[in-house]
Structure 1
């Protein structure tokens, strides 16, 4: 798989589930050799500030997580992407995308993203989320996409809302703590927003 070449149009492009280009990002399927880059930011406590389970200190824990992702890719043909800039394809900014996951006693399509602290505040999570929604609804023809977020995680909640997801309920997945929040986007809502030209509309960013 080759990195995106200079001169490619800036509009989002679907290159199949394993690779996708957005305005600024190259989203690709993970590989075994990505372990060290993934562990670098998953072991940083800042990236798990709102996660009751904490960060993945041990490399073996990250290996187990990567193995689950790779197995999902093998079984389903899609899954979480590694996120890189198109102009710096060798640098991993984070991970994001959709995977099948059990949420509140049902099998669902889960939208997830986690980024290196150095990549925060630049709209990469929203850009990745929008690409994941396009994959889910336009290529995989899913009925709905869910995302689970801790109630205190305001940055992630704003990202989900910017991408068009709406809060539909809560899930007591962490014993003894406040319930996580469940956000949802269904196919009808996605298509309605797309037709209106409002789907995943990004605010202008300085230095774009």
Structure 2
């Protein structure tokens, strides 16, 4: 794998939130473990580098790439609402993401490989969302099928947890998953989240499961060296 920092196309250089983009980028070959010299926490919310990934704030121009995989039924296998067939539905979803970035200064990222920044693998990160009647910080990820099974969702989730607890100082992060979605459940558990309850958000179907990571647990796991361990590759 190339370790070069991606050359960012001009259209991607500006984040939707004026103050969110960092002045400098992390240098290749740095220590990307939590708390290291090139820690994820040292980068701004709109752009972050992990060992293999470049995470960046979305833009309106990303609509075609996002619709391509959100319209694929395979990416919504466990979603009772199904995939986003209509471009207008994806456009409305992207607009919600952009508004969240504008209002809060963070949100879901587009996920790209560091050596192939023009190729969108998926989307993931944290956003404020109502869960079981309460306002919460929601961890979400969705990837195109070609990116499955390579640990990208766990790597993205760990970057999101670092942002939530080390920069935003959140008390907890939640994630809602359908009970049959074993791949997503394993990803959440690999990132250190634990199952804490269920939520009947889909009438007539089995309750969704709620996973949680709180600040105390995150700090304990990080101190013990167990937080956000990447899968063996």
TM-score range, shorter chain: over 0.9
Which of 101, 110, 114 lines up with 1:73 in the alignment?
A: 101
Partner of 1:9: 29
Match of 2:80 in 1: 52
- Mapping 1:146-161, distance limit 5 Å: 146-161=174-189
* Aligned match for 2:172, one of 127, 131, 144: 144
Asked if 1:31 corresponds to 2:51, the answer is no
Which whole-Å CA distance do the structure 2 matches of 1:203 and 1:85 have between them? 17
Q: How far apart, in 2, do the equivalents of 1:170 and 1:6 lie?
A: 39
TM alignment of 1:34-183, pairs within 5 A? 34-183=62-211
Question: Residue 138 of structure 2: SS of its match in structure 1?
Answer: strand
Match of residue 229, structure 2, among 175, 196, 201: 201
Name the CA distance, whole Å, in 1 between partners of 2:50 and 2:26: 13
Measured in 1, the distance between the counterparts of 2:176 and 2:169 equals: 21
Q: Secondary structure at the residue paired with 1:170?
A: strand
Mapped partners of 1:5, 1:188: distance in 2: 29
TM-score, scaled relative to structure 1: 0.95
CA contact (8 A) 1:98 1:110 kept: yes
Q: 2: CA distance between counterparts of 1:154 and 1:179?
A: 15
TM normalised by structure 2 equals: 0.85
Q: Deviations over 1:52-102 (max 9, x none)?
A: 000000000000000000000000000000000000000000000000000
Equivalents in 2 of 1:197, 1:32: separation in Å? 39
- 1:22-61 per-position Cα deviation (integer Å, ceiling 9, x unaligned): 0000000000000000000000000000000000000000
Report the 3-state secondary structure (helix = DSSP H, G, I; strand = E; otherwise coil) of the residue aligned with 1:72: helix
Structure 2, gaps ≥5 residues long: 1-5, 9-23, 33-39
CA contact (8 A) 1:10 1:22 kept: no
Q: Compute the displacement of 1:5 (Å).
A: 8.4
For the structure 1 residues 68 and 126, does the alpha-carbon distance in structure 2 shift closer, same or farther, using more than 3 Å as the test? same
How many residue pairs were aligned?
205
